[in-house]
Structure 1
Amino acid sequence: MSQPSINLHGAVDLSALARPAQPGPAAPAAPGGPATEAPIVAEVTEATFQQTVELSMRVPVVVEVWASYAQGPSQVLAKVATDYGGRFHLARVDVDTSPQIAQAFQVQAVPTVVAIVRGQPIPLYQGDYPEDQLRAVLEEVLRVAAQAGVTGTVSGGAPEEEAAEPEPVEPPLPPLHAEALDAIEREDYEAAADAYRRALKENPADHEATAALAQVELIMRTASAGGLQAVTAAADSPLTDVGAHLAAADAEVAAGQHAAAFDRLLAVVRATAGDDREEVRKRLVEYFEIVGTADPAVADARRNLASALY
C-alpha cells in the first residue's frame, strides 16, 4: 500500500459534540447509487456538527479547521473536493466561531484537516499540502472508507448527465479481509488479527493485509496502555528501556504524532544493539506501513533508520 494508512479509531472523542447512531456491520455500498442530499463543500458550526457526523455514516467526510487570521480556508482543498465530484463531503469549520469543534479535534495549529468515517475521527495533517500529496491522502481516506462500507456520495457532485452514467462497481473484498472487518466492527480485534494473519499465510505479498494487521495490533497494544500517559511515563526512562519507549511510540502514532514516534524509536535504535535493536526496527517498519509513504515523515525516517543501522 503506497498511500498513508490510518488508525480506524482516530485520536479524539466526538461524543461531546454529536451522538451518532451506533453503526451495524459494514455492508459494501455500490458507487454511483443514490446520492445524499448535501453539498460538496459546506460551512459547519457547532449547531450543525451532529448532522455532519451522521453524514459520515454514508459519505466520507473531510473536516478542515481554519481561521481567518491564517489566510482562511484552503482553496486547493476545495478545488480537489470539487474534482472528486461528491465522493466525499468537505466540512469547513472556523476555529473562531466553533472553538468546541477545534477542541474536540485537539487542534494545535490551523489549518488542521481531519476525516470522519462512520463517526470515527481520523487525523490527517496540519498546514498546507501540495495538491499531489493532498490527493494521495484523500485516496487513502476513500480506501479506508470503502473498507468500512462508506461509499456514498453527496448530491452536489457531478452534473446530472455525468451522474446518470453507470460507474464501475468495485470488486468485493477478499473473504478474509471481509471477515477481519466484521470482527473490527464488533471490536473483536483478536479475531481481526487472526483473519489478517491467515490472509498473509495464503498470500505473503498481500500488502493490504500487512498494513491492516499492523493497525489492529496497534489498537490492541494501546487499548490498555493508558494512551498518551505512556509518553509521560517514558520521559525519564533511558533509551535502553525499550518497553517504555515502544509503549510511548505506540501512543504517539495512535494520536497522529507520527514524527515524534519515529524520532523516539530512531534514538532507541542508535542506543541499543542485538535483539532490542531488532525489535525496535520491526516496530518502526510497522509504523511505516500504518502511516504510509505519502507522509513526508516516513521517507525521512526510512533514510535515518538505514543510516542508524548501517
Structure 2
Amino acid sequence: MTQQPFSRPGAIDLSALKRPAPAAGAPSAPAGAGPGGAYVLDVDEQNFQATLESSMTAPVLLAFYSRGRMPESGQLADDLAQLAAEFDGRFLAGLVDVDAVPAIAQAMQIPSIPLVALVLEGRPMPLFQDVVAIDELRTALTQLLQQLTTQGVTGRHQPRSVATVVEGDEAEEVVDPRYLPAEDAIGAGDYATGVAEYQKLVDANPADAEAAAGLAMARVLLRTQDVDLNAARAAAAANPDDVAAQTLVADLDLYGGHVDDAFDRLVELIRRTSGAERDQARQHLIGLFAAVGNDDARVIRGRQNLASALF
C-alpha cells in the first residue's frame, strides 16, 4: 500500500465509494451483523458509513488487515474481534479486509497494514500500526476505555448479532438492556438518574465491574455538575485541609482528564489529616480509583502512594 501519513482528523471523503444495490430477491443481512460476535462486523462499502455513524454512540475500532499479504495482520483482526466480546459492547470491532475493499483503505489514507484505528464521534485516529499480542492489546484497550470513561464517554453498543422473537410475520430484535437506562440518563445530563440506575445494577450484582465503574464515574459527574471551577480551586487553595474543598477539586481534575493530579491531591490530604477526615478522604480516593479502573497503571501507582501515606 502507498506509504503516506494517516492524517484524517475529520470526516472521511466517501465520494469514491459506490454502494451497489442488493441483488434482486436477495435477503438483506441485519445491519452490522458481524463474523463471530455480537460486537463485530465485516466492513464493506455498504455499511462503512453506518459503521462510522455508530461511533456517535460508543467507540468503534477499525482493524485494517490482509490475510494474504500479512497473515499476522489477520490474527490481529481476530484478536480484536475476540476482545470486542470480552468488553461486552464498550467498542464495536470493524474488520476491514483491504484486499476485498481497497476503496475504504484509500478513502481513509491508510499508510500500511496492520493498522487499528479508533473512531469516536465520526473522527478517526490511529492506535496501533504494528502487530501486538492479544494480552498487550487487551491491556491497551482497557486503559483506553478507562481514559475515555474519565472524559465522560460511557456509551455502549447494542449487540449486532442478536436473537429474534418471531410473532406472525414480524421479528423483534432482543438486545441487552442492562446499561441503557443509566447511559441514556447520563447522555441526557441527568446524572442523578444515572447514579440511581447504576446503583440498581451494582445492588443486583456486586461483581459487575462495569456497573461499579459506571456508578463511580456517574457520581463524579453528579458532584461536579454546575460547579464553578475557578471558585472551587480558590476555595481549595484557601483551605488546604478542608476535605470537602479538596475532594471537589480532585473530582474536577478527574473529570478534566488530570487523573494523576486528582490522586496526588487526595494522597497528600491523607498524609496531613487524621481520624474521620482522613477516612473520608481515603474513601473518596478509593471511589476515584473505581471510576478509572483498578487495572489502570495510574490507579496501581495511586494505590501504592496511598499505602505509603497510610503506613
Cα 1:181/1:234, change in 2 over 3 Å: same
Cα 1:149/1:216, change in 2 over 3 Å: same
CA contact (8 A) 2:216 2:288 kept: yes
Give the TM-score of the pair, scaled to structure 2.
Answer: 0.54
| 1:149 and 2:157 correspond | yes
| 1:180 and 2:176 correspond | no
Higher relative contact order (CA 8 A, sep 6+): 1
Structure 1 window deviating more from structure 2 (236-245 vs 81-90): it is 81-90
* Residue identity opposite 1:137 in structure 2: A
- Gap runs ≥5 in structure 1: 1-16, 19-27, 41-50, 64-78, 91-113, 153-165
Deviation at 1:308, TM superposition (A): 1.8
Distance 1:135 1:230 in 2: 40
Distance 2:298 2:270 in 1: 17
Distance 1:190 1:58 in 2: 21
* Residue identity opposite 1:148 in structure 2: R
* Residue identity opposite 1:193 in structure 2: V
| 1:306 and 2:302 correspond | no
Max Rg structure? 2
* Residue identity opposite 2:197 in structure 1: A
Deviation at 1:262, TM superposition (A): 0.7
Cα 1:80/1:295, change in 2 over 3 Å: farther
| 1:84 and 2:80 correspond | yes
Secondary structure class of the residue paired with 2:237: coil
Task: Please tell me the root mean square deviation across aligned C-alpha atoms, in Å.
Answer: 4.9
State how 1:198-237 maps to structure 2 within 5 Å.
198-227=200-229, 229=230, 232-234=233-235, 236-237=237-238
Structure 1 window deviating more from structure 2 (142-151 vs 203-212): it is 142-151
Alignment correspondent of 1:138: 141
* Residue identity opposite 1:211 in structure 2: A
- Gap runs ≥5 in structure 2: 1-9, 12-31, 63-74, 82-91, 97-116, 164-173
| 1:291 and 2:292 correspond | yes
CA contact (8 A) 2:250 2:263 kept: yes
How much identity, in percent, do the aligned residues show? 33
Task: After superposition, give the CA deviation of every residue in 1:8-42 in whole Å (9 maximum; x if it has no partner).
Answer: xxxxxxxxx78xxxxxxxxx98434463549x9xx
Alignment correspondent of 2:68: none
* Residue identity opposite 2:157 in structure 1: G
| 1:276 and 2:282 correspond | no
Task: After superposition, give the CA deviation of every residue in 1:66-115 in whole Å (9 maximum; x if it has no partner).
Answer: xxxxxxxxxxxxx967963682699xxxxxxxxxxxxxxxxxxxxxxx96
Structure 1 window deviating more from structure 2 (276-285 vs 135-144): it is 135-144
Distance 1:207 1:215 in 2: 12
CA contact (8 A) 2:155 2:183 kept: yes
Alignment correspondent of 2:252: 251
